[in-house]
């Protein structure tokens, strides 16, 4: 539930004119991309961060954006008129303290993005526990191919554009609406800043255990988002998710449910997964239409329906969007084929929540029939390391032929032993359900085991919320050498 004295979200005063911007935490993926966006609209941009390294250091250097190492009040001596406070910044950060002492406007990244890029646009805010990144990139692609020239800000690399953002010249600006908290002074979710005119609510589950204490608290914040949707707005909501539908009842504008069941206004029936993606018949957009999506998996049918629904709400050509759906290139680290060596296909995926793991493995099983499927998982995120999903993880790997759990690097853990995921028990439970499973102590041990155990024809999917120590390329190299 709501924490004591916590506002919905915090808006700070912006300067009347912005010319020079300093970003605290410039080397983060989102902040680095935002630095480039600010430069694109003609602002002078600098920043600071710890441990700036490729690829972001290369991006910033290539754009001529200077950064300073570490945190120091002197980093503001160049005279910025706006400081953007990244999520990495703590209350006692010397630069944040100095900005306040010098009277320099300091706002969160979501507020700055909203105030500088969304005021004169039609914000399309994509939300939900799962599918945000894919749906954001897919929606942008469909609108782009339909000639609407949208803007985009997404938490991943959209492969069709080889970019994390587009400015666009059209009315629509599609943004991934993250429910993670905003800044040290604003513990509300980022998506509350984004002025939604059209919103997608794909699903609601418990996640972000480092920020939220319960599912009820997460639901409350999605309710706050829906409460922003008054007359003249549109909400696309997953009709197959009861929590999402309950939230949608609060909306004051148009509500369009999508999904597989009869309650969906935009509906997919006769779904046929295959090696090239997924075919389905689209109902609710005029005459029934047979659609081919380049994306595999039931979860990606929901994502496709949401993207099509956004396009229809904006007046995009259905024919153009259906054609674009079959050519969508995806997002990096979402069922991304990294390469094949010695007949073994290696895939990288972001799945780390049990629902995402289950759906991803089912999709890969359909996409690569007859091949042995290895699921290699690193339980690294705060939610993954907590035992709240202990039982759900035990059921999430049923579509795999082999399961390997890999211990992530040691990190400070806010959870006590009684709260932590019991990995040994999880391995035993997976094996008891009929799928061979084992636990390896870190990425090096995991790599050594896989290099000797996989064989030609196998598919190995690495699932993690981080880079997994580059194990994908290391395994391909080891297999090529073998």
Q: Residue 350 sits in a domain of what CATH number?
A: 3.90.190.20
Mean pLDDT over 96-111 rounds to: 96
pLDDT band at 188 (very low <50, low <70, confident <90, very high): confident
Read off the CATH number of the domain in which 289 is found. 3.40.1190.10
In a domain? residue 331: no
Q: What is the share, in percent, of the chain residues with pLDDT greater than 90?
A: 66
pLDDT at 198 over 90: yes
Helix axes 443-453 and 471-481, enclosed angle (nearest 10):
40
Q: How far apart are CA 69 and CA 42, in angstroms?
A: 24
In a domain, 130, yes or no: yes
Residue 130: predicted pLDDT = 86
Compute the distance between CA of residue 32 and CA of residue 277 in angstroms, rounded to an integer. 33
Percentage of residues in the chain with pLDDT exceeding 70?
96
146 and 34 part of one domain: no
Asked if pLDDT for residue 1 goes beyond 50, the answer is no
pLDDT above 80 for 326? yes
Cα gap 45→80, rounded to integer Å: 9
Residue 1 lies in a domain: no
Is 211 inside any structural domain?
Answer: yes
Predicted local confidence at residue 2, as pLDDT: 45
Judgement on whether residues 185 and 268 belong to the same structural domain of the protein = yes
Q: Is residue 285 part of a domain?
A: yes
Domain boundary among 113, 146, 173: 113
Residues 154 and 62 in one domain: no
Instruction: Verify that 309 and 381 share a domain, yes or no.
Output: no
Q: How many domains does the chain have?
A: 3
Q: Do 65 and 172 share a domain, yes or no?
A: no
- Contact assessment for residue 277 and residue 294, using Cβ atoms and an 8 Å cutoff: yes
Domain end point (choices 113, 134, 168): 113
**CA-CA distance, 281 to 290, in Å (whole number)?**
4
Do 128 and 93 lie in one domain? The reply is: no
* Contact between residue 86 and residue 31 where contact means Cβ atoms under 8 Å apart: yes
Angle among Cα 379, 157, 229 to the nearest 5 degrees reads: 90
**pLDDT of 25 higher than 90:** yes
Q: Do 274 and 342 have their domain in common?
A: no
pLDDT for residue 91 is more than 90: yes
pLDDT tens digits, 287-314: 999 999 999 888 889 999 999 999 999 9
- pLDDT tier at 3 (50, 70, 90 boundaries)? low
How does pLDDT run across 30-41, given as a tens digit for each residue? 899 999 999 999
In a domain, 225, yes or no: yes
* Residue finishing a domain among 297, 325, 353: 325
Mean pLDDT of 337-361: 90
Q: Are residues 283 and 349 in the same domain?
A: no
Task: For 404-426, write each residue's pLDDT tens digit.
Answer: 998 875 555 566 777 778 888 88
- Cα angle vertex 180, ends 27, 333, to 5°? 60
- The domain in which residue 49 lies consists of 20-113
CATH number at residue 98: 3.40.50.720
| Same-domain status, 149 and 275 | yes
How distant, in Å, are the alpha carbons of 7, 122, 232, 234, 368 from that of 252? 22, 17, 8, 9, 44
* Mean pLDDT score, 346-370: 88
Residues 416 and 274 in one domain: no
Cβ(108)–Cβ(85) below 8 Å: yes
Whether 40 and 186 map to the same domain: the answer is: no
Q: Is residue 2 part of a domain?
A: no
Closest CA to 367 of 406, 336, 328: 336
Confidence of residue 209 (pLDDT cuts 50, 70, 90): low
Q: Is residue 7 part of a domain?
A: no
Averaged pLDDT of the chain: 91
Please report, for residues 148, 173, 282, the alpha-carbon distance to residue 318 in angstroms, rounded to integers and kept in the order given: 13, 19, 11
**300: burial class by Cβ within 10 Å (0-12, 13-18, 19+)?**
buried
Q: How far is residue 430's CA from residue 19's CA, in Å, rounded to a whole number?
A: 56
User: Is residue 398 a contact partner of residue 430, using CB atoms and an 8 Å limit?
Assistant: no
Q: Is the pLDDT of residue 228 over 50?
A: yes
184 in the same domain as 231: yes
């Amino acid at each position: 539930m709501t924490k004591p004295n916590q506002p919905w979200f915090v808006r700070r005063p912006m300067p009347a004119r912005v010319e020079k911007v300093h970003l605290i935490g410039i080397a983060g993926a989102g902040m680095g991309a935002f630095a480039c966006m600010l430069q694109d609209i003609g602002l002078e941009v600098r920043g600071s961060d710890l441990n700036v390294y490729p690829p972001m250091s290369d991006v910033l250097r290539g754009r001529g954006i200077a950064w300073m190492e570490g945190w120091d009040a002197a980093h503001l001596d160049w005279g910025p008129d706006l400081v953007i406070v990244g999520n990495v910044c703590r209350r006692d950060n010397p630069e944040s303290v100095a900005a306040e002492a010098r009277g320099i406007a300091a706002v969160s990244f979501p507020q700055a993005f909203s105030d500088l890029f969304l005021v004169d646009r039609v914000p399309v805010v994509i939300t939900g526990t799962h599918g945000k990144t894919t749906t954001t990139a897919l929606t942008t692609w469909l609108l782009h191919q339909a000639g609407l020239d949208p803007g985009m800000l997404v938490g991943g690399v959209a492969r069709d554009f080889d970019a994390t953002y587009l400015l666009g010249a059209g009315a629509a600006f599609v943004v991934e609406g993250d429910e993670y908290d905003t800044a040290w002074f604003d513990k509300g979710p980022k998506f509350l800043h984004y002025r939604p005119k059209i919103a997608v609510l794909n699903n609601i589950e418990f996640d972000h255990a480092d920020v939220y204490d319960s599912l009820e608290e997460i639901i409350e914040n999605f309710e706050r988002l829906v409460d922003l949707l008054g007359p003249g707005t549109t909400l696309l909501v997953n009709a197959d998710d009861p929590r999402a539908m309950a939230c949608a009842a609060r909306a004051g504008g148009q509500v369009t449910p999508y999904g597989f069941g009869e309650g969906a206004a935009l509906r997919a029936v006769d779904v046929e997964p295959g090696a090239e993606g997924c075919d389905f018949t689209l109902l609710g957009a005029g005459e029934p239409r047979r659609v081919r999506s380049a994306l595999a998996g039931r979860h990606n049918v929901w994502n496709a329906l949401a993207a099509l629904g956004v396009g229809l709400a904006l007046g995009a050509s259905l024919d153009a969007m259906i054609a674009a759906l079959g050519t969508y290139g995806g997002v990096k680290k979402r069922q991304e084929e990294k390469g094949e060596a010695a007949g073994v296909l290696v895939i990288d995926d972001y799945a780390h929540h049990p629902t995402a793991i289950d759906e991803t493995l089912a999709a890969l099983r359909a996409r690569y029939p007859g091949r042995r499927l290895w699921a290699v998982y690193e339980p690294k995120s705060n939610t993954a390391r907590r035992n709240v999903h202990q039982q759900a993880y035990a059921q999430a790997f049923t579509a795999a032929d082999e399961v390997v759990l890999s211990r992530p690097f040691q990190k400070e853990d806010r959870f006590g032993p009684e709260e932590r995921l019991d990995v040994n028990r999880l391995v035993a439970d997976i094996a008891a359900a009929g799928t061979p499973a084992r636990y390896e102590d870190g990425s090096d041990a995991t790599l050594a085991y896989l290099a000797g155990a996989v064989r030609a024809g196998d598919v190995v999917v690495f699932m993690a919320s981080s880079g997994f120590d580059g194990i994908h390329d290391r395994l391909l190299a080891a297999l090529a050498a073998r």
